[in-house]
Structure 1
Amino acid sequence: MKMQKIVWNYRRKTMYRVLVVDDEPSICKALEMGLSPGDFEVDVSTDGNGGILLGSQRPYDILIADLCLPDMDGLDVIREIKRISPEIIPIVITGNGSMESSIEAIHLEVSDYLEKPLNMESVKSAITRGIENRAMQRKTMRKKLQQMLEIYKEKFSDLSGVEANTRNTRSDQLSETIPMFVHQINNPLMSIVGSAELGMLKLSDTGAIKQYFAGIIEAVEKINTINKKIIKLQHPSEENIERLDIGDIINDCLNMFKDLMTLKEIPLEKDQRSLDLPVFGNKFGLEQLFNNLILNAIDSMDGMPEKRLKIWTEVDENASMISVYIEDTGCGIPKQAMDKIFTPYFTSKKHGTGLGLSVVKGIVERHTGKIHVESEAGKGTRFKVNLPAINSQRSYQRQDMR
């Protein structure tokens, strides 16, 4: 079967964009010639308003600005461009520095303060220091986000542990919904973290900011939906059954984890053969089914030398059953655990609730389907979900999941 290969990877910059604002054409030319080859892309302006205009038209990594400009103060230029691009690295150059301007530069978080005449090596060193400091700040922020996520996981794990210890009591019949709720909100929570981290990595790109934070908003909306519907998973008679397209369901699930896969540099290969063969089912339940399987696959590949997620669909000869395959190159499942993975509260994860696959199995069975798993420790896992199609006519065509 021919796969459509899609790689969601964050492309790290190999060339930094530099904006030079100085009223001396000779300095602009020297910086343009000295920085351009290989590592830098340089734009120049000989006045402050022109520099602000350039800064509003495209994102820059570094701003090199003279303090004394013909139309305005260089610090005002820095202030305005930082308002547009908060993560830009400002470097001041001047022939007439003062204590007052130095203090103001500190308030504006200017990365470096260079005096004329300029030495190109000093300029490059100042740029390198600024880039390294910004990378360190981003790393610190990502670490804080990861710590927040671990705190969430620990709290969720504590809740599920309490439930596991009391689930044989009569009152536990009601409280068992709590860890299930906790487990399900983990999925969009991971999406939130992925989108937020990528948003921070591209704070200087306003277009990217809108895209990544739109992903955050969408994930939060999914949490609100889960809050309202999670209880219905335990009451099949209350589920809304409707005609659904499996491809649309899988697309929605993949989109939720797109940023997380980008962050973890996991390429996706997918092929969907579907289908004039939709299914009858509960949309929320099927979304949780595939969300769990996809997130498990993503988590299993942490630290693995080769990362790849494959998703494809097949139809049987009678066109009566749709099979969805989800395959990863993760750590795999130990043989001794294979017969326990669908058991409630069984988990091999440090902060797992042990509910994900038991939820998956319950949803599959309520849709009169079947689930199979093949796994090899250290090499990966393949899940196969069989769901009955609505009609029996064998008629399908290739439909890429976009």
Structure 2
Amino acid sequence: RVPIREDSDTVRAYLFIMRDITESKGFQEMMISLDRMVTRGIMAGEVAHEINNYLAVILGNVELIPLLMAKGQMDKVEKKLEVLKNSVGRIQRFSEGLVGYGNEEAVFELGDLNQNIENLVAFLKPQNRYDGIAFDMALSRYLPLVHFDSSQIQQMLINLLNNAADALREKPSDRTIRITTEPVEDGRAARISIADNAGGLPADLQEMIFARRYTGRRRGRGFGLMVVKQIIDRHHGQIEFETEAGRGTTFRITLPVKNLTADSESPVIGADQVPA
């Protein structure tokens, strides 16, 4: 509201300035949907490859069991059955990582972020992109349940983890992604931290990292971090990052336990603004 004055003491009228954000919201939805579709296409081949690997292990052991039984080698049969059980369990955990990922509509429900993360890592870990990368997970047992859209949070985590994996490709050894969760703000919010020990973010990209196309690879699609920011905005959360050349980068995502109704954007806190 801007006052229009007739003189120094008299306000003749007020000028109100309003902005229609409908188009902006539509663009954000389009970006998230586009990013999800592109990711689906890239991951479809990986999914088929991994499921075929699991099925090959199962089929090989199923074929051996009758031969071992005919020879009376029941101890070996028991071992093969244990392998089958473990393989089926891996497929189950792998498939759980896909649950909700295909949903287009935003559905905010009270859920367990830790379980969501565990399922997703079990799904991503066998993929070629993560070969040679160790996952170090420290998920707090005291993390509160949070209202979130499972599909969008999975998309956000996939984008951050994929960028971390791509950044680690040039590191010859000791490649690690660390994922931690913790309750913050006296239990009113949950924080997810994703850290890599790659080379850190280039200084010229840090200020605009969520406002431009950026990827951890020299050659990549680069919508990932823009969409991460948009998803966190939708959850009325906060994202911050800390990076150090030669040491790596940490992204911290804070999500409120309750899904707020206010339409606000999440602040971005750079490496020099991260609270102690």
TM-score grouping bracket, smaller chain normalisation: 0.5 to 0.7
Q: Provide structure 1 residue ranges, at least 5 long, that are not aligned to the other structure.
A: 1-171, 233-238, 392-402
| 2:152 paired residue number | 285
**Deviation per CA, 1:339-397, whole angstroms, max 9, x where unpaired?**
23212534463442211111111111111101111123443211101011249xxxxxx
Output the TM-score relative to the length of structure 2: 0.62
Identity of aligned residues (%): 23
In the alignment, does 2:78 pair up with 1:222?
no
In the alignment, does 2:213 pair up with 1:345?
yes
* 1:299 partner letter: D
| 1:363 paired residue number | 231
| 2:39 paired residue number | 183
Which of 211, 215, 231 does residue 87 from structure 2 map onto? Answer: 211
| Matches for 1:250-329 after TM superposition, within 5 Å | 250-260=117-127, 264-275=131-142, 277-304=144-171, 305-316=173-184, 318-329=186-197
Contact 2:159–2:228, Cα closer than 8 Å, also in 1: yes
The structure where helix makes up a greater share of residues is 1
- Structure of larger gyration radius: 1
* 2:182 partner letter: E
Matched pairs, number = 211
* 1:371 partner letter: I
Q: SS state of the match for residue 222, structure 1?
A: coil
| 2:200 paired residue number | 332
Contact 1:272–1:313, Cα closer than 8 Å, also in 2: yes
Output the TM-score relative to the length of structure 1: 0.44
Contact 1:195–1:216, Cα closer than 8 Å, also in 2: no
Q: State how far apart, in whole Å, the 2-side matches of 1:335 and 1:251 are.
A: 32
Q: SS state of the match for residue 241, structure 2?
A: strand
| 1:135 paired residue number | none
Q: Provide structure 2 residue ranges, at least 5 long, that are not aligned to the other structure.
A: 1-26, 63-79, 260-276
Contact 2:167–2:198, Cα closer than 8 Å, also in 1: yes
Q: SS state of the match for residue 153, structure 2?
A: helix
Q: State how far apart, in whole Å, the 1-side matches of 2:29 and 2:156 are.
A: 22
Contact 2:194–2:252, Cα closer than 8 Å, also in 1: yes
* 2:257 partner letter: A
Q: State how far apart, in whole Å, the 2-side matches of 1:248 and 1:268 are.
A: 15
Q: State how far apart, in whole Å, the 2-side matches of 1:221 and 1:313 are.
A: 18
CA RMSD, Structure 1 to Structure 2 (Å): 3.8
| Matches for 1:95-174 after TM superposition, within 5 Å | none
**Deviation per CA, 1:188-239, whole angstroms, max 9, x where unpaired?**
654554565687799855666893897499559939x655x34x4xxxxxx2
Q: SS state of the match for residue 178, structure 2?
A: strand
